[in-house]
Chain A
Amino acid sequence: MKNYKIILVMIFGLFILSCDLDENPIFLNVSMYENPESASAAIDGIYQSLTTYNAQERRLFVLNGFSGFFTTGKNGNNNKNTNNANLFSLKPIYDADSEAVWGGLYQVIAQSNSAINNIQVVETPTTTDELLIEDLAGHAYFMRAWSYFSLTRLFGDIPLWLDLPDSDNLSKARTTTKDIYAQAIVDAIKAEELMNGSKGKGYPKQYAANMLLAKMYMALATNPALRADGISEADYWKKAYDEAIKVYRSSAYTLVTDYSSLFTDDNENSSESIFELQISQDAANSQMGRNYSPWKWKKTLAFGWFKVHADVYDDHVATYPNDSRIAGTYISEWIRADNGNTAKFYPANASRSSYFNANPYFFKFAEKDQTSTTQYNSQNIIVYRYAELLIMLAEISNELQNGEQMIYVQQVLDRASATPHAGYSGSKDDFRDAIMREYRYELLGEGEDSFNNRRRGFNYFLTNVILKHNNNPGFKASVDLTLSTDESQAMQLPVPLIELNTNELIEN
């Protein structure tokens, strides 16, 4: 063997001294916020976070379940199943759905925090790119404010994260509800300043931030414990009015003619929409049609997780017998997609003989195409719409007694072909009760019932929702839920177990 061969082998062996130990992953780093396109995609990431199963399907499940208006066959077709016995009866325990919503909304917050901390907005944006970047920052603030407002109304005192976690910063103690509101208001004001519409159609404008601010001020107006020092209830009603009226006066929104069309694929991002989540079958980002379409309504499995208490339905019909909103909100009779038979539930089947048939289904989130074969659907989720703003303005105006209240609510009623009921012509208190019920008739199941019912305190909730249901003449113990009358249970969800189990700074 010649020596050169072994030398060759050794040279071959020695090449490894030049070996590489650096990592080259195929994902982006923080510099993506510098590029308007990828920064814009990151903002889509925030909105996408809000359409995850946890933050959308389960958020609405929890919100409606905890409103006192709904019942569910999820986990068993009886009024004693886990959901009905607890969350839906206003006796919340640590449950998987609330836990998911918690994580889902905090994920929205974390993505917003990443954007807020990394997007650089120039002082006076002029170019298209600069304006887009400014708008993107506004969206991040808006979503953070919206998420904290949503979370604190469900869970009370919660951790406040304004930065991203790192290995030395993994747990946060509870922040008081009052301080959460204070932060959310600061964020929403910032959002209003920054949002300029550059992101285009399908995204909220700065008016969504105004509406959010108005809602937060209304919440502070009705809850003395949350108010800042030296600011009175009337001040807050005034602040709420100032924000809401900006939206009204912008003339950016109008009511659509057909109420039911709001809950279809055909009328998405309508003139009424203020904040709407973009759902698409192709994006596979919503199973609302699967979860909330009535039983045997469509070809593939439909879970039909929402039914509305029969007495809530009865009350609506009794108040506005010819309300065009009824058909868009409830359903009790249809042709089954599997065998062509007719399925009948209350009131089409008046017997209320079993839990299964005792209540009408909630229809707004149902897949409207009965021939659909997919579990995903395309119907957008409207979070804020103009009709709600009008009702808010009516409520605020009544509190301020500025004489404008009927102007706003009349528009909503006109669309519904509903004649104002007697409450609207009574005292300030009567009007208040009337307008609080109007939220329900107009917006049932859309996500705000749970808050609207509680916003005026436990006693108001007890009198106007809980006892009304428990004591309604058609109440039947074998099929209906008995709602809790215990304030310590009914007003707030417990901070989820998964948080208690992992957060070193929160005790049970």
Chain B
Amino acid sequence: MKNLILALLFTPMLIFSQSKSVKGTVLDDNGIPLPGVAILVKSSQSIGVTTDFDGNFLIEIPSDQEKTLVFTYVGFSKQEIDVSELSEVSVRMQTDNTQLEEVVVVGYGTVLKKDVTGSLSTVKLNDEVANQSTSIDQLLQGRAAGVQVIQNAGAPGSGISVKIRGTNSLRGNNEPLYVVDGVIISSAGEDVLPAGGVGNSGQEIQNGLNGINPRDIESMQVLKDASATAIYGSRGANGVVLITTKKGSKSKVKISTFVTSSIRTVSKKYDVLNGPTYAEYRNEALVLEGNNPAYQLNGNEVYRISYGDEGDEPGTSSAQPASVFRWQDELFRQGFSNKVGVSASGGSDNGDYYISAGFDNQEGVVKNSSLKSGDLRINLNQNLSDKLTLEARISAFFNDTDFAEAGDLIGANQSFIRNVIAFRPVISEEVDELNEDLEASNPYSWVDDFYDQSKEKRYIGSLGLTYKLPVKGLSYQIKAGGNVRTKDRRRFYGLTTYQGSTANGALQMSTLNTNSYQINNFLKFNRSFDNKHRINALLGTTYDVRKVESSIYAVEDFVTPEFTTQQPFLGSTISQPLRLVKSDQQIFSFLGRVNYTFNNKYIATVSFRRDGVSKFAEDNRFGNFPSLALAWRMENESFINDLDLFEDLKLRAGWGQIGNHGIGPYGTLSDYGVSDNLYGNTSNGTKVPLKLNNIANPNLTWEKTEQINFGLDFSLKNNLISGSVDVYDKTTKDLLQNSPIPTSSGFTSILINRGSVSNKGFELALDIAPISSEDVELSFGANIAFNKTKIEELGIPNNDFYINGVAQKRSFYFGQNISRGNIFKAPANVFVEGEESSLFYGFQTNGIYQTEDTDLAEGAVAGDVRIIDQNEDGKIDLNDRTFIGNPNPDFVYGFNISLRIKRITARLLFNGVQGNDIANGNLLQLDNAEGIITNILPNAYINAWRPEAQSNTHPRIGFTTNGRVAISDRIIEDGSYLRLNNMTVGFDVPISESSVIDKMNLYIAGQNLFTLTNYSGYDPEISNFLYTGLINGVDWNGPPNARTILLGLNVNF
């Protein structure tokens, strides 16, 4: 700024000198003209000009001066340009991310970046990437150390999970708190309630964060350590993602438009038996069971053999060959998507605005899978007077989705994915052979006759007034914000689906109506004294109310299925009467924070929050959440400064206590309410029964997390290398758990505080910018996070727990059974005190029993899988279970490469997970030739054990693990992967200066282009059972992921 003033002062004197004149334009990195840029003659340091409103300048360089100009502007890197050979230049200023005066958003306020004491990651977005994404979780993946994102791009709108620094709680929903422009959005795991399916049906989880448009996001801060999140008190334990949306700037009106088109295809398929081989397999299985073969093969044609009512042999072959299908090829298609958007922004001395609108039309990888959304945002800032400023944020979002691909989670053959993979590839007219309860529902029925439609509307708004009080630096702010989300989800099973055929059409309707609002009152104080002391303080109260009303309703037996989800009136049996479920919560809090900096070297932050939450009984309702953090800016110490090595070197230490009450309300009360079904009366009418639905636990209280963090931020001179390192240790006590309890109690679970877990970890983020010139820029970014979650205590008495056949007295409990049926009946995970969380527990195996083997376990026959008899008692039972895998990764990482050569930019983003195991439940049936009428993997059939050809890899035909009490290591696979998450190549189209267009950028992008993994299933990024907590790392009918090729155009006016 000093230079600028000097430049202004001296400008008039220049015209009298003999000189060289240079004119030019200065643009920002988006190609927008920059007014007010200071341009100085290098050798003089006193001769200079500033750019005008359109970014133009004209400078006279006196003959005695060196012909080099220096361009400076706050927030941008200094540039020097030799103009000795030039009379006209066009300069593009580059944003300086390390600018020390940069301000960072923290909880309920901002601080100077140099004064930050906590551990946080900033995710900066460029338009190319933001425009490719439909939800914010995609933007977090791979871009911030210690942030693990699980999502499935194949199914638009499907559920997501974001984990910051491991698992804090065994309860399941470990989603961070999202705060958009100060409005808390706690809906990450929120969805409509399932209305009760038909049979074993389950409802797919959908994304609860729809409506926060990536395109409108200016930046995201991920608050990771307790000193940063403690200001969010009882909701800070899982980390906080602060999202700041864009605002206009005080320059000319800027209009940005974009359009993208993309093609989405399934990135991987299962290889299963083709029709003729399947027919051979079927025949072999039937003959082994003592039955007649079902098919006759003639070359590649398959004919069905029928035997008549009396079962007479030989049967007669059908006249026509049976139809043969490759179901995955039939069902998975290319999905085409389009997205357009426009935004306008600008401002004046008194205020600024940002307005945007967009439309998105995405097709999934199966026929009736889609997502359509529209959104609108208005951001306004206005100075009402010199003391009073107003800020307003309003956004609206509308969303229609149909059928996220998994369709149905729990049922085996009742699931879409299961059906597509394993449905028999040979279809003939005769169905007599079929298993009687599973004869309907071929994969087509899921796309032709199943509907899972959601309509969602979301409005987020906030209004804030800030008044400068008479004391210098002191202001009062009141801010009210709200979030309204309504969702209507309807699922209809038509007559050809399994569910619909049993029920004669089944419609399930669920709605969600969430209203939340917050009122914040703050006194803020922000002032420097004597250039030595700087204080940034905050004191205030907030009241946060969240009202949720859900409804469920289901009806069956349709007079006509013609109107599918549209007309419940056509169904005659109400299988779920309309039921409203209320779930309200109120939180009242006091909070305060002081950030004090001494001499630009020593920084301390102290924060405190006291929360009162309606969920707990009066005695346990209030909790206190303090934090303390210290930082030392070592680069300002002479002994570091003398090294002339660091631009920035900051050592941080932080401690804090945070809480979590991520349970539903009313857990302390006994719920005597309606039951799932009615009871009949003597005239075949109905009676309403009342039931006790839960076990009240009046002692419920906070989950308390205490975390220590040490960190170091560094940046070398010239910003060639910068980065940060963090180590942390956090322990969560009084875990709130929905603990499975013995069903002999009459209930299946209780909400209870018990146990503790710890997470210890190390994070490293590094940015390297080896080349930074006008024509070529190259930078690398990388992050890696190691985290170990350990169950410190469970609060369950020790009991016999078998490891390698030896009983140990341990405290433990098991996870949840995966399926309600017999196929994957056993739990996969076990939670054992002193171990990592949710380890896989089951049988170890060692090949296949051979005919000559004499040491068969009780009940086994040659050709069965050899389960290791750990305790050598001759029989295989529960005591032979042992640890067989670990679903927790050793580390998660991401790295990106960014290269610009003149007008061409290329950006690559990789993300990966290393060292985790996956229990691939699909293998239970796919990898064993059970001899039933479903398709299997080729190896399971070809390499099946046969007396005459003894295999040691695959069991005999007819072998099944159905109903087995534990999983085996045969389904445990390495889940490590490295994925090219995104590759974008862009080109800045040259624009003539006279054009109305300021900038045009064309790009092509590929998402999920390749995945390096040994995992045999569709996708190692498992999105099943996201929020259960009792099932981890289990792939059970998980949908395939998608590969997307996208073409985009950004045009700025």
**A residues lining the B interface (CB < 8 Å):** 1, 5-6, 9-10, 12-14, 16-17, 19-30, 32, 38, 41-42, 44-45, 47-49, 51-52, 73-78, 80, 82, 86, 93-96, 99, 102-103, 106-111, 113-114, 158-159, 161, 164-167, 170-172, 201-202, 265, 268-269, 277-285, 290, 295, 299-305, 342, 344, 349, 351, 353-357, 373-376, 378, 380, 477-479, 496-504, 506-508
Contact = CB atoms under 8 A, between A and B. Distances in A.
Interface stretch (B153-161, B498-506, B769-777): B498-506
B812 to A, nearest CB: 10
A507 B695 contact: no
A73 B689 contact: no
A24 B677 contact: no
Given A16-B541, A29-B670, A170-B742, 10 more contacts: A22-B614, A30-B670, A76-B435, A82-B960, A103-B743, A164-B695, A269-B682, A282-B678, A375-B198, A502-B814
Interface string B676-687: 111111101111
A164 B744 contact: no
Interface string B714-732: 0000000000000000000
A19 B587 CA distance: 9
A52 B676 contact: yes
B521 A375 contact: no
B741 interface: yes
B437 A167 contact: no
Contact of A504 (B384, B434, B504, B797): B797
Contacts of B673: 26-28
Chain B CB within 10 A, most for which of A20, A82, A290, A295: A82
B688 interface: yes
Nearest to A276: B682
A101 to B, nearest CB: 10
Given A159-B742, A300-B504, A376-B573, A111 B677 contact: no
Contact of B666 (A25, A93, A508): A25
B465 interface: yes
A498 B1016 CA distance: 30
A289 B497 CA distance: 19
Chain B CB within 10 A, most for which of A38, A74, A281, A302: A281
B96 interface: no
Interface in B532-579: 541-543, 556-557, 572-576
B290 interface: yes
B519 A13 contact: yes
A109 to B, nearest CB: 6
B584 A23 contact: yes
Interface string B579-596: 010101011100000000
A32 to B, nearest CB: 5
Given A103-B743, A170-B750, A374-B572, A349 B680 contact: no
B684 A280 contact: yes
Contacts of A502: 740-743, 813-814
A478 B668 CA distance: 57
B390 to A, nearest CB: 11
Contacts of A164: 692, 695, 746
Given A41-B687, A503-B742, A19 B503 contact: no
Determine the main DSSP class of A at the interface with B. loop
Contacts of B641: none
18 contacts: A21-B588, A27-B673, A29-B670, A44-B689, A99-B743, A110-B692, A161-B745, A165-B745, A269-B682, A278-B680, A282-B573, A284-B574, A356-B433, A357-B311, A496-B743, A497-B825, A501-B813, A503-B744
Contacts of B691: 42, 45, 48-49, 111
Given A41-B689, A44-B690, A304-B436, A110 B681 contact: no
A500 B1017 CA distance: 32
B473 interface: no
Interface of B: 198, 289-292, 307, 309-312, 384-385, 387-388, 432-437, 439-440, 465, 467, 476, 478, 498, 501-504, 519, 521, 541-543, 556-557, 572-576, 580, 582, 584, 586-588, 612-615, 621, 665-666, 668-673, 675-682, 684-693, 695-697, 699, 739-748, 750, 752, 796-797, 799-800, 813-814, 817, 820-822, 825-827, 877-879, 932, 958, 960, 962-963, 965
Chain A CB within 10 A, most for which of B198, B289, B439, B800: B289
Contacts of B742: 159, 170-172, 499, 502-503, 506
B677 A110 contact: no
B612 A21 contact: yes
B774 to A, nearest CB: 49
Contacts of B958: 80
List the 7 shortest-distance A-B pairs measured between CB atoms, nearest first: A110-B746, A353-B311, A280-B680, A478-B290, A278-B680, A27-B673, A103-B743
A109 B291 CA distance: 46
Nearest to B691: A45
Given A49-B691, A351-B310, A303 B290 contact: no
Nearest to B693: A27
Contact of A351 (B311, B384, B576, B580): B311
A9 B963 contact: no
Contacts, number: 344
Contacts of A23: 584, 614-615, 665-666, 668-669
Determine the main DSSP class of B at the interface with A. loop
A29 B437 CA distance: 41
B838 to A, nearest CB: 14
Contacts of A47: 679, 689
A278 B748 CA distance: 26
B796 A504 contact: yes
A508 B556 CA distance: 43
Contacts of B432: 356
Contact of B437 (A74, A114, A170): A74
A75 B822 contact: yes
Contacts of A76: 435, 932
A27 B467 contact: no
Given A9-B467, A13-B478, A171-B742, A165 B747 contact: yes
A496 B740 CA distance: 14
Contacts of A283: 677-680, 685-687
Chain B CB within 10 A, most for which of A32, A109, A501: A501
B690 A28 contact: yes
Nearest to A25: B666
Contact of B309 (A99, A171, A344, A496): A344
Given A94-B963, A172-B742, A283-B680, A478 B573 contact: no
Contact of A165 (B312, B687, B741): B741
A78 B436 CA distance: 11
B817 A498 contact: yes
A166 B827 CA distance: 24
A109 B739 CA distance: 21
B314 to A, nearest CB: 12
A93 B582 contact: no
Contacts of B796: 504
A78 B465 CA distance: 75
Nearest to A269: B682
Nearest to A342: B309
B746 A111 contact: yes
B478 to A, nearest CB: 5
B1008 to A, nearest CB: 37
Given A27-B672, A500-B878, A21 B613 contact: yes
A288 to B, nearest CB: 12
A22 B498 CA distance: 46
A268 B680 CA distance: 12
B820 to A, nearest CB: 7
Nearest to B697: A167
A201 B670 CA distance: 31
Nearest to B612: A21
B462 to A, nearest CB: 15
B827 A19 contact: no
Chain B CB within 10 A, most for which of A74, A159, A375: A375
B680 A378 contact: yes
